[in-house]
C-alpha cells in the first residue's frame, strides 16, 4: 500500500503559523473580562438552551443563521458554559482567518503572505470582533475562503476549488444574511470576468472591445448558463467554450438563486399585492419550487457532474443546520429558503443605528489606517498595471462591499470587518509587490535589502499606532464605549451584581425568587447571567403592582419610580448602569439630511481645518466616559427571611 508523504512546512509557513499562534493568544487572553453585549447574550442563552434541549433549537432569522448556535452549543457541551466559552468559537474563527494568506502565497509572495497574516492578526476591528459572540467574524472567514476559492479555480480549474466555494457559500448562508451582499458583489465580478474572457475568444481589441463589452455584459451570464442549447449561437458569435469565470458564475448562481426566493415580494408589493398570511405561504412555495427547478435544469445543462458536486456540498451543510439535524424539517427548510431573506429585507427599512451615509468613511481611517494606505497604493498599482488580476479581484471585493454596506439601511460597527478583510489582503498584495520591486532594484549587491528595509521602516510607526489603537479598544476599555467601534455595551455592573445575586440565592431558604422588568429590553443580558437560577420571572412594567414580597426585583429606573411600594421590604436598593453607549452627536452633526448638503458641510470642515483637527483629537483621546449615554436601573434586594419588621 502507498503511504501519504508528509511535507515539512517551510520557513514562510512556519512564520505564518507562529503569527496565527500569537493571534490566538491575543484572542483568548482575558476573553471573559467584558460583560456580554445584548446580542451576545441572546446568542449565548439560546445556545445554552440548545445544549440542554429546553427547548430544542429552532432557527429564527431574528438572530441570523444557525451555524453560530450549533458551534456555541457544541462548545458548551464539551467544555462548559460561561462568558469566555461563548466567545471561544469566534476566537478560533478569527485565528483561522489569519492563516488564509497561505492560500494566496504564490501571488502575494513571501513578504505579502507574512504581511497579510500580520494585518489580519492585528487589525483592531478584526481582533475586537474575534472576541465577540456575533456572526461577523465567521462570515468574514467564509467570505475569505469563497473569494480565495474563486481566484484559485480561475487559475488552475481544479474542481476542488468549486467544492470549497460551494462549502464557503453554504456556511455563509447558514451564518448571516450579509452573504447576500457578498454573493451579489461576486456574481457581478464573475459576469465581468466572463465578458472579458468571451471577448478574448473573439479576439476583439481596441475601441470595439469596449463597445462589445458593454453590449455583452448584461447577457454574458445567460449565454454561459444556456451554452448547450445555444451552441449554434455560440459558434456564430465566435465563442469556443465556457470560460472558468462562466463555470464559477453558474456554480455560484445556481446555489444562490433559490435563496433569493423571498425577493419576489419586492415587485409584488410594488404592484400593490399584500404578501402576508396564506398569500405569502403560497407565493413562497411557488417561487422556491420554481427557482429550485430553474437552478437544477441550469446545472444539468452546464455539467451534471460539477453541478452534483457543488449541490451536494452546499445542501449537505445548509439543510442539516437549518433543520437542526432534521428535527425541524418543514420549518427549517422554509426558514432557509424564505425566512432569512424575508427578515433581512424587512430590516432595511428599520435602519438600526440611523448612521449617515459616510459612516464607513469615518470609521475606516480611525481603525484600519494600517492597511488603508498600502491598500490604496495597491489600488494605484492596479490603475497603472491593469493586468494584475488578483489586485482587480480584491479591489472589486472591497469597492463592492463598501458601496453595498454604505447603501444598506443598517450600518453598524461590526460590519467594518467586511471592509477590513479585503483591505488587509489588498494591502498584503501591495506590500508583496513593493518588496519584490524594491529588492530587485539593486544597482549594487550590498543594497539588496535597502529598499525592503525602507518599506519596513515606513510601516513600523503606523503599525505601532495601530497596535496602540487595538490595545485600547480590546484590552484597556473593552466594556466602556468611549469609541464608536464598541458602540453600545453592557456595563460591568451587570456581571458584578450577578455574582451577588448568585451568592444570595445559594443561601436563600426555599430558593430566591427573582423578577426582571421586561422594559427597555432589560432581560438581555440578565437572561444569560441568571440562566441557572430556578426561580426567575420576566414581567412587563405594568405587572409590578402584584410582585410577591420577598422577591429580588430588577427594574429600569422608570418602573422603580412608578411603583414606590417596591422598595418596601427591600432595604438594599442598588442603583446600577445596565448598558451604555457612545455619544454619536459629533460626527452625526455633519449629516444635513441630503447628500449634497452633507458633502458641502464635510468639505467646509476639511477646508477650514476644523474636521481634521477634531478627528485627530478624537483619535488621540477618544471621549470622556462621563459623556456616555446610559440606561440605568435598580436591583432591589429583599430583606433576609425572619428580619422583616425589625
pLDDT at residue 270 is higher than 90: no
pLDDT at 606: 85
Summarize pLDDT for 14-62 with one digit per residue, the tens: 999 999 999 999 999 999 999 999 999 999 999 999 999 877 789 988 8
Summarize pLDDT for 84-130 with one digit per residue, the tens: 999 999 999 999 999 999 999 999 999 999 999 999 999 999 999 99
The DSSP symbol for 646 reads: -
Q: Are 256 and 168 in contact (CB under 8 A)?
A: no
Helix or strand run (H / E) with residue 553: strand 552-556
Q: Which three cell numbers stand for residue 96?
A: 483561522
Sign of CA dihedral 352, 394, 22, 362: negative
Q: Which three cell numbers stand for residue 440?
A: 530587485
Work out the average pLDDT over 61-77.
94
Helix (H, G, I), strand (E, B) or coil at 581: strand
DSSP string, 72-114: HHHHHHHH--SHHHHHHHHHHHHHHHHHGGGGGHHHHHHHHHH
The DSSP symbol for 60 reads: -
Q: Would you place residue 235 in the very low, low, confident or very high pLDDT band (cuts 50, 70, 90)?
A: confident
Nearest to 171 by CA among 322, 41, 284, 327: 322
Helix (H, G, I), strand (E, B) or coil at 427: helix
Q: Which three cell numbers stand for residue 85?
A: 466559552
pLDDT at 453: 64
Work out the average pLDDT over 296-316.
96
> What is the percentage of the chain residues whose pLDDT exceeds 70?
94
End-to-end CA distance of the chain: 85
Nearest to 255 by CA among 166, 329, 178: 166
Q: How far is CA 220 from CA 193, 359, 393, 400, 415, in A?
A: 10, 35, 18, 20, 32
pLDDT at residue 4 is higher than 50: no
pLDDT at 279: 84
Nearest to 563 by CA among 539, 587, 530, 531: 539
Determine the Cα–Cα distance for residues 86 and 69; give it in Å rounded to an integer. Answer: 10
Alpha helices in 243-355 (DSSP H): 244-256, 265-270, 277-322, 329-334, 340-350
Q: Which three cell numbers stand for residue 199?
A: 471577448
Nearest to 94 by CA among 27, 18, 17: 27
pLDDT at residue 643 is higher than 70: no
pLDDT at 339: 87
Helix (H, G, I), strand (E, B) or coil at 64: coil
Q: Are 110 and 12 in contact (CB under 8 A)?
A: yes
Work out the average pLDDT over 181-199.
95
Q: How far is CA 241 from CA 5, 223, 246, 393, in A?
A: 37, 11, 9, 23
Task: Give the max Cα distance, the chain.
Answer: 99
* Region of poorest pLDDT, from 231-240, 578-587, 623-632: 231-240
Determine the Cα–Cα distance for residues 441 and 150; give it in Å rounded to an integer. Answer: 33
With cell 489586485, the residue in question is 391
Q: 49: exposed, middle or buried (C-beta count within 10 Å: 0-12, 13-18, 19+)? A: middle
Q: Are 419 and 405 in contact (CB under 8 A)?
A: yes
Beta strands in 562-638 (DSSP E): 572-581, 629-637
Helix (H, G, I), strand (E, B) or coil at 133: coil
Q: How far is CA 130 from CA 78, 98, 351, 408, 417, in A?
A: 20, 11, 25, 23, 10
Amino acid at each position: 500500500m502507498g503511504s501519504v508523504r508528509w511535507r515539512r512546512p517551510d520557513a514562510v509557513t512556519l512564520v505564518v503559523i507562529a503569527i496565527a499562534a500569537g493571534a490566538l493568544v491575543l484572542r483568548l487572553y482575558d476573553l471573559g473580562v467584558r460583560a456580554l453585549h445584548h446580542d451576545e447574550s441572546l446568542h449565548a442563552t439560546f445556545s445554552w438552551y440548545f445544549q440542554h434541549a429546553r427547548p430544542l433549537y429552532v432557527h429564527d432569522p431574528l438572530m441570523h443563521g444557525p451555524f453560530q448556535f450549533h458551534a456555541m452549543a457544541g462548545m458548551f457541551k464539551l467544555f462548559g458554559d460561561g462568558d469566555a466559552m461563548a466567545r471561544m468559537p469566534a476566537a478560533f474563527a478569527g485565528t483561522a482567518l489569519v492563516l488564509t494568506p497561505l492560500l494566496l502565497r504564490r501571488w502575494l509572495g513571501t513578504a505579502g503572505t507574512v504581511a497579510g497574516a500580520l494585518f489580519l492578526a492585528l487589525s483592531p476591528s478584526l481582533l475586537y470582533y474575534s472576541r465577540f459572540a456575533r456572526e461577523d467574524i465567521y462570515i468574514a472567514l467564509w467570505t475569505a475562503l469563497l473569494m480565495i476559492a474563486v481566484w484559485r479555480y480561475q487559475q488552475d480549474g481544479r474542481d476542488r476549488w468549486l467544492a470549497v466555494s460551494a462549502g464557503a457559500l453554504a456556511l455563509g448562508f447558514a451564518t448571516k444574511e450579509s452573504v447576500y451582499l457578498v454573493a451579489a458583489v461576486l456574481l457581478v465580478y464573475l459576469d465581468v470576468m466572463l465578458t472579458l474572457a468571451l471577448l478574448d475568444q473573439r479576439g476583439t481589441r481596441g475601441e470595439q472591445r469596449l463597445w462589445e463589452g458593454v453590449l455583452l455584459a448584461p447577457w454574458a451570464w445567460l449565454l454561459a448558463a444556456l451554452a448547450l442549447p445555444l451552441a449554434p449561437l455560440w459558434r456564430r458569435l465566435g465563442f469556443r467554450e465556457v470560460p472558468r469565470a462562466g463555470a464559477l458564475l453558474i456554480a455560484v448562481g445556481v446555489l444562490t438563486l433559490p435563496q433569493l426566493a423571498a425577493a419576489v415580494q419586492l415587485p409584488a408589493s410594488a404592484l400593490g399585492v399584500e404578501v402576508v398570511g396564506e398569500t405569502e405561504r403560497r407565493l413562497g412555495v411557488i417561487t422556491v419550487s420554481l427557482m429550485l427547478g430553474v437552478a437544477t435544469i441550469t446545472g444539468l445543462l452546464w455539467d451534471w457532474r460539477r453541478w452534483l458536486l457543488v449541490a451536494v456540498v452546499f445542501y449537505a451543510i445548509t439543510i442539516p443546520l437549518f433543520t437542526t439535524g432534521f428535527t425541524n424539517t418543514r420549518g427549517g427548510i422554509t426558514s432557509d429558503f424564505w425566512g432569512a431573506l424575508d427578515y433581512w429585507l424587512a430590516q432595511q427599512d428599520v435602519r438600526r443605528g440611523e448612521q449617515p451615509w459616510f459612516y464607513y468613511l469615518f470609521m475606516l481611517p480611525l481603525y484600519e489606517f494600517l492597511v488603508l494606505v498600502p491598500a490604496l497604493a495597491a489600488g494605484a498599482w492596479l490603475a497603472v498595471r491593469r493586468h494584475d488580476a488578483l489586485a482587480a479581484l480584491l479591489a472589486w471585493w472591497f469597492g463592492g462591499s463598501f458601496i453595498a454596506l454604505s447603501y444598506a439601511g443598517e450600518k453598524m460597527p461590526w460590519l467594518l470587518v467586511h471592509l477590513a478583510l479585503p483591505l488587509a489582503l489588498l494591502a498584503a498584495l501591495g506590500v508583496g509587490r513593493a518588496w519584490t520591486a524594491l529588492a530587485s532594484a539593486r544597482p549594487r549587491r550590498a543594497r539588496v535589502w535597502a529598499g525592503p528595509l525602507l518599506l519596513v521602516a515606513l510601516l513600523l510607526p503606523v503599525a505601532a499606532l495601530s497596535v496602540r489603537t487595538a490595545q485600547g479598544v480590546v484590552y484597556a476599555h473593552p466594556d466602556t464605549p468611549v469609541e464608536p467601534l464598541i458602540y453600545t455595551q453592557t456595563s460591568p455592573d451587570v456581571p458584578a451584581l450577578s455574582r451577588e445575586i448568585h451568592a444570595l440565592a445559594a443561601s436563600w431558604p426555599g430558593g430566591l425568587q427573582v423578577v426582571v422588568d421586561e422594559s427597555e429590553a432589560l432581560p438581555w443580558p440578565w437572561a444569560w447571567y441568571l440562566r441557572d437560577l430556578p426561580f426567575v420571572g420576566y414581567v412587563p412594567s405594568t405587572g409590578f403592582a402584584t410582585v410577591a414580597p420577598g422577591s429580588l426585583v430588577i427594574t429600569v429606573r422608570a418602573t422603580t419610580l412608578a411603583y414606590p411600594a417596591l422598595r418596601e421590604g427591600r432595604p438594599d436598593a442598588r442603583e446600577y448602569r445596565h448598558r451604555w453607549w457612545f455619544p454619536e452627536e459629533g460626527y452625526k452633526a455633519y449629516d444635513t439630511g441630503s447628500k449634497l448638503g452633507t458633502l458641502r458641510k464635510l468639505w467646509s470642515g476639511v477646508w477650514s481645518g476644523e474636521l481634521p483637527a477634531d478627528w485627530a483629537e478624537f483619535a488621540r483621546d477618544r471621549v470622556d466616559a462621563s459623556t456616555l449615554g446610559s440606561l440605568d436601573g435598580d436591583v432591589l434586594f429583599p430583606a433576609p427571611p425572619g428580619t422583616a419588621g425589625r
